[in-house]
């Protein structure tokens, strides 16, 4: 089923071709027609499955030919849990929206940066992408009104509910018109999602895309038995020996992320840390430099593990294991995306061994292990 069979607005077909979207992904085959028909949608799909385009394309199509919105009255509201995801979703709207005959104004608003430019930017907005707290601030100061919203998207809804946005979400939902289209996307279907689904969605089309086995198949996983003290030298050895050019390293704390990045730099490997204690500007800059290959190693906390798309990232290192097996899969899912091969390396200390077994069992896949004792780390 080609993209041209859905009834998307013709200008989008050109952009799809231009972006090398040759065939719709499974989620897109189901979600696009449902949204075009005006149905509510509950999409359970892992990151990397193509969910963003699955809602952006039909929403842009639906916005064409509508009467002009009142000033500062957004038509589409996309709620997201993090600033990074807000920026990323905006990019997808802009890439696809920029060729449309009728101009669509898209803005992303989030906390941690000055509110004034956002207030000005909301002039003439059609599509508003927002984290909940900042959105409420902007509504309270009358910079934007939600009374004309006809489509609501909750992206990474599981994360949003986890992060305790519930009260803010209730306040936002109370401000929306009752008659609207609701689209909810989540990587997992848990009790909270089931609850919010009942409150929010009206006779939804439910689409469940399994955590892609095929995706995991594209990721070569390897574990290194290593002691805590040897992790630094081992990381440098792996990067230098294999001449890795673009590596995402995960740590479990902000302190550790800074520390690992510092040590890499001291040893002549270009690295930057990215985590919640960095300013939004620094985070955006680091991410875009990393994406474009100007930074060799990005050291991140789990802030980045979900939702952020870095096209076909070749190498991910778990410097420290995440607590939950799901987070492990999200982390390694940064590679092996868009059908490109990737490699995921995990450092396993003696204390981690039991936990790593649990992770592998949950994942349904056993990882080849290498003992770093047998590697000469002198000089690294
Ligand atoms: P997402 O799950 O929305 O983060 O998308 C994952 C990645 O897949 C992004 O890099 C998209 O640009 C890419 N993508 C989404 N749909 C398609 C498609 N039909 N063909 C090729 N690439 C796609």
Mean pLDDT by runs of 10 across the 380 residues of the chain is 94 91 91 97 87 97 86 96 94 94 95 96 97 97 97 91 84 95 90 81 89 67 96 97 94 94 96 85 84 92 64 86 86 71 93 96 92 93
DSSP class of residue 219 equals E
With respect to residue 379, please indicate whether it lies within any of the assigned structural domains: no
Regarding the beta carbon of 24 and ligand 1, being less than 6 Å apart is answered yes
DSSP helix/strand/coil, 273: strand
> For position 283, what pLDDT does the model report?
81
Regarding the beta carbon of 336 and ligand 1, being less than 6 Å apart is answered no
In terms of domains, do 145 and 221 share one?
no
Residue 220 alpha carbon to ligand 1 centre in Å: 21
For ligand 1, what atom is nearest to the CA of residue 25? 19
CB atoms within 10 A of CB 35: 26
> For position 327, what pLDDT does the model report?
82
> For position 334, what pLDDT does the model report?
72
In angstroms, the CA 30 to CA 55 distance is 11
For ligand 1, what atom is nearest to the CA of residue 46? 2
In terms of domains, do 28 and 177 share one?
yes
> For position 164, what pLDDT does the model report?
80
The distance in angstroms from the start CA to the end CA of the chain is 52
Q: 259 exposed, middle or buried (CB, 10 Å; 0-12, 13-18, 19+)?
A: middle
Residue 350 domain boundaries: 216-374
Of 159, 184, 208, which residue is a domain's last? 208
Q: Which of 343, 309, 316, 312 is nearest to 331 (CA)?
A: 316
CATH number at residue 139: 3.40.50.300
> For position 284, what pLDDT does the model report?
79
> For position 211, what pLDDT does the model report?
56
In terms of domains, do 221 and 197 share one?
no
With respect to residue 137, please indicate whether it lies within any of the assigned structural domains: yes
With respect to residue 106, please indicate whether it lies within any of the assigned structural domains: yes
pTM across the whole model = 0.65
In terms of domains, do 112 and 257 share one?
no
> For position 337, what pLDDT does the model report?
62
């Amino acid at each position: 089923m080609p993209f041209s069979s859905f009834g998307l607005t013709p200008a989008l077909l050109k952009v799809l071709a231009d972006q090398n979207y040759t065939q719709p992904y499974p989620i897109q085959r189901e979600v696009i027609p449902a949204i075009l028909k005006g149905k509510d949608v509950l999409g359970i799909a892992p990151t990397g499955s193509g969910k963003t385009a699955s809602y952006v394309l039909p929403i842009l199509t639906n916005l064409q030919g509508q009467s002009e919105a009142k000033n500062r009255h957004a038509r589409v509201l996309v709620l997201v849990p993090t600033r990074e995801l807000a920026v990323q979703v905006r990019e997808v709207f802009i890439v696809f929206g920029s060729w449309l005959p009728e101009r669509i104004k898209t803005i992303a608003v989030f906390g941690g940066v000055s509110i004034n430019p956002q207030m000005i930017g909301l002039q003439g907005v059609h599509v508003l992408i927002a984290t909940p707290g900042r959105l409420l601030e902007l509504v309270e100061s009358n910079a934007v009104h939600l009374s004309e919203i006809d489509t609501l998207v909750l992206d990474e809804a599981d994360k949003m509910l986890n992060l305790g946005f519930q009260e803010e979400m209730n306040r936002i939902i109370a401000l929306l018109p009752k008659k609207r289209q609701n689209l909810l996307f989540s990587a997992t279907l848990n009790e909270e999602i089931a609850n919010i689904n009942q409150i929010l969605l009206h006779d939804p089309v439910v689409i469940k895309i399994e955590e892609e086995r095929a995706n995991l198949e594209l990721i070569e996983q390897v574990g290194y038995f290593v002691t805590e003290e040897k992790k630094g030298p081992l990381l440098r050895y792996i990067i230098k020996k294999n001449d890795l050019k673009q590596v995402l390293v995960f740590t479990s704390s902000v302190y550790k992320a800074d520390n690992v990045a510092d040590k890499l730099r001291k040893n002549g490997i270009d690295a930057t840390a990215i985590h919640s204690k960095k300013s939004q500007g620094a985070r955006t800059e680091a991410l875009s430099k990393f994406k474009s290959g100007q930074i060799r190693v990005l050291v991140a906390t789990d802030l980045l593990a979900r939702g952020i798309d870095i096209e076909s990232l070749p190498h991910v290192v778990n410097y420290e294991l995440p607590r939950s097996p799901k987070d492990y899969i999200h982390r390694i899912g940064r590679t092996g995306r868009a059908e490109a091969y990737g490699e995921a390396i995990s450092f396993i200390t003696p204390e981690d061994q039991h936990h790593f077994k649990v992770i592998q069992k949950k994942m349904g896949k056993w990882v080849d292990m290498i003992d770093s004792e047998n590697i000469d780390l002198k000089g690294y």
